[in-house]
Amino acid sequence: MTASMAGAVDLAAVKARSEAAARAAEAPPPAAGAYVVDVDEAGFQTEVIDRSFQVPVLIDLWADWCQPCKQLSPVLERLATEAGGRWILAKVDVDANPRISQALQVQSIPTVFAVIGGQLVPGFQGALPEAQVREFVGAVLQAASEAGLPGAQPVDEAAESLGEPADEPGDPRFSEAEDALERGDYAGAAAQYKKILDAEPANAEASLALRQVALLQRIDGLDPALIARADTAPDDVSANLAAADDALANNDVDAALARLLGLLRRTTGDDRNAVRDRLIEYFDLIGSDDPRVPAARREMTSALF
């Protein structure tokens, strides 16, 4: 799970993640012994999201009445203390903080998530045996090291804790692009991905990443007035392309596709080609495994021919 964006990426969160990363860089590291924290709604941004840019944060969702929680929580607390700050345990009482559990779509407790660099990583439900909990923690530390978190343990140590060989180091060319992306330097990231593609035109990861960076660059310069105009000017191509980008950036895939498909039917010539190209870009970004993509492709073909 890296900023190379090979896979699903929360485009709506990229700017927020960049700002959170800056706050985390300025914040002091976890105090010695402060490896288990009780988190409420007010402190969730600082203690979980921002902190996750320094070290991975595991979220333990529990309640006082939950008997399995009383089995799992002590295990997590002990492991967090043993780790000595390589990761933080954030305990969330779901009864006192219902909006957090609703936002995370928690179905039952105990439930554990991890947050690495501002991104949520699915964990597990129920009181697992300690060996399985340790395995999950090790995998989280491995992913955090690969993501370049400064407080996470090195990859080889994480792998050793799992009894597995260390992975090979990541491609430094992607690391440069990822560093630029984390700084919010979209132009620098795009230049680095283009450099990779110049050397390897068939590099699918760089190609996908470049498309996503292109979207981020467009989003960064979006004019709210232009987006608002789209609803009153359905034939304004620029406004509707901007509104579609804004919808996709906010993870409203259905609205983004519907807007472009409607626009495709109302345009001709170069305008139609621009809309078609944007749709094809969206298909790549969303991924062919999303059931909305094949349906939208069929609708696009029907509109074109």
Catalytic positions, written as ranges: 66, 69
The answer to whether the beta carbons of residues 117 and 21 sit under 8 Å apart is yes
Alpha helices in the chain (DSSP H): 14-26, 44, 67-83, 98-103, 130-146, 155-161, 172-182, 186-199, 204-220, 224-232, 237-249, 253-265, 269-286, 292-304
Amino acid at 257: L
The answer to whether the beta carbons of residues 60 and 89 sit under 8 Å apart is yes
Residue 283: name the closest of 184, 193, 206, 212 by CA.
Answer: 212
Q: How far apart are CA 253 and CA 218, in angstroms?
A: 17
Q: Give, in order, the Cα–Cα distances in Å from 195 to each of 2, 192, 218.
A: 19, 5, 20
